[in-house]
Amino acid sequence: MRTKFKNSGHALIAAALLSALVAAPGCQAGDEQNADPIEVLSQTVLLRILTASLYNFRYCEVLLATSVTGGIRADVYNTMSRNTCPQEQWEALDAAAIAAEFSVDGAFLNGPRFWVLDWITNNSPTAGNASLATFGEIEMIQVASVVTPGVNPAYDVSVVDRDTVFLFRAGREVYQLEDPSGKRYIMQSFSRIVDADLQITELSGLGERLTLPAGWSFSVRTLTADLNLQSPETGAEVVTDDFSNTYQRLL
């Protein structure tokens, strides 16, 4: 008998599964100006966003989840190369109806989200064919299939198997969590899942609104040089805060 997932947990499940997984496979920091919007080469989808920066770039995700041995498998669909996730169309989506349509145990709506970085290099190999799907009136592309043992609450660490570099350019304001052991986590995207009105200009004051665990702190700093946030071979360590914003550990 399959486990049925409740929609009320969608923010935590989505954040634990992906949020920073989705990038532009093959995008290099120096390729922005000459990039084609979308290229399809040898069954590998190269998403090349025609912009000088992904900063404050809006995207949404739908996760199609099925219970499997050892946890939850989620096929992750993302809007990044297709559209900017129109709000009216996003609000019209029904997670239960999507789950029924695609014959999965649960569908989870992850977004809207906004990158707070400048560029992404994703060196992860793309497995199989990337497929398109339409949810309501929003077209998305499958960017990942992820298996996780369960749902991590805010401030618990999830390990994501990926090979990416997140670029934050000099002069950019970055937002950082630090745990009691001194491990630091840099925000990669903010979310409007919990606070539908959250603006990127409000992130510097987020520390006053977070309910941090004992020994944790939130800080803001302005970069004096480019920061390349590399995921290690053992996987990226990712946490979320109370607002489902996502952070990756800085090594």
Inform me whether the pLDDT recorded for 28 exceeds 70: no
Q: Is the dihedral of CA 174, 242, 124, 137 positive or negative?
A: negative
pLDDT tens per residue, range 149-173: 777 789 998 877 778 899 999 999 9
Q: What is the mean pLDDT of residues 140-149?
A: 79
* Most confident residue range from 8-22, 148-162, 231-245: 231-245
What residues have CB less than 8 Å from 33, skipping those under 6 apart? 52
Cα angle value 226/232/233 (rounded, 5°): 145
Count of domains forming the chain:
1
- The per-residue pLDDT for 7 is 38
What is the rounded average pLDDT for all residues in the chain? 80
Inform me whether the pLDDT recorded for 250 exceeds 70: yes
In a domain, 100, yes or no: yes
Q: Which residue has the higher pLDDT, 36 or 185?
A: 185
In a domain, 136, yes or no: yes
Q: Is the dihedral of CA 235, 240, 245, 250 positive or negative?
A: negative
Is residue 61 within 8 Å of 6, Cβ to Cβ?
no
Q: Which of 161-165, 201-205, 241-245 is predicted least confidently?
A: 161-165
Residue whose structure tokens are 């369960």: 150
In a domain, 1, yes or no: no
Q: Is the pTM of this model over 0.85?
A: no
- The per-residue pLDDT for 52 is 64
- The per-residue pLDDT for 161 is 74
Q: Which residue has the higher pLDDT, 112 or 12?
A: 112
Q: What is the 3-state secondary structure (H, E, C) of 26-82?
A: CCCCCCHHHCCCEEEECCEEEECCCCCCCCCCEEEEEEEEEEECCEEEEEEEECCCC
* Domain span including residue 225: 7-250
In a domain, 2, yes or no: no
- The per-residue pLDDT for 153 is 87
In a domain, 188, yes or no: yes
Is residue 65 within 8 Å of 14, Cβ to Cβ?
no
Angstrom distances, CA of residue 73 to CA of 61, 159, 196: 15, 15, 28
Give the rounded percent of residues in the chain with a pLDDT score beyond 90. 57
Q: Which of 131-140, 142-151, 186-195, 234-243 is predicted least confidently?
A: 142-151
Confidence of residue 175 (pLDDT cuts 50, 70, 90): very high
- The per-residue pLDDT for 35 is 35
- Distance separating alpha carbons of residues 74 and 199, to the nearest angstrom: 29
In a domain, 72, yes or no: yes
In a domain, 87, yes or no: yes
Two tokens at 131? 């497929």
Inform me whether the pLDDT recorded for 244 exceeds 70: yes
- The per-residue pLDDT for 130 is 67
- The per-residue pLDDT for 85 is 94
